[in-house]
Amino acid sequence: MFSFMHNAITNNSPNLPSNILSSPRQPVPSLDEFFIKLDESSEDGEEFTTKFKDIFKEEQISVNQIYDLTDMEFDKLGMNKIGWCKAFRVAAKCYK
């Protein structure tokens, strides 16, 4: 899946680009930009843009709301893998 997903699960230090980690809060990107960054971080070719971006747009979920999504809400969005939810929360944390 994501290169940072395993790290997020084991030690909470995701392998995100340095510009994301350099400050606690970043300007909130568009959903398109957020999903592009997630797809670029994927080591195994997982494409979250094609799977979930349209669903997030349809549900009117902004990037700064992703971190606060509950497990039930992720499940409703079709994100039923624990690693996916953790990866999304880690990637969205700096936009909270």
Question: What are the pLDDT digits (tens) for 24-59?
Answer: 567 899 999 999 888 887 766 667 788 899 999 999
Q: CB–CB of 29/63 below 8 Å?
A: yes
In the chain, what are the domains? 29-95 (1.10.150)
Measured CA to CA, the distance from residue 6 to residue 78 in angstroms comes to 21
**Percentage of the chain lying above the pLDDT 90 cut:** 32
Comparing 48 with 63, the larger pLDDT belongs to: 63
Q: How far apart are the first and last CA of the chain?
A: 23
Comparing 32 with 21, the larger pLDDT belongs to: 32
Least confident of 46-50, 63-67, 76-80, 81-85: 46-50
For residue 21, give every residue at least 6 positions away whose Cβ sits within 8 Å of its Cβ, in sequence order, or none: 14, 94
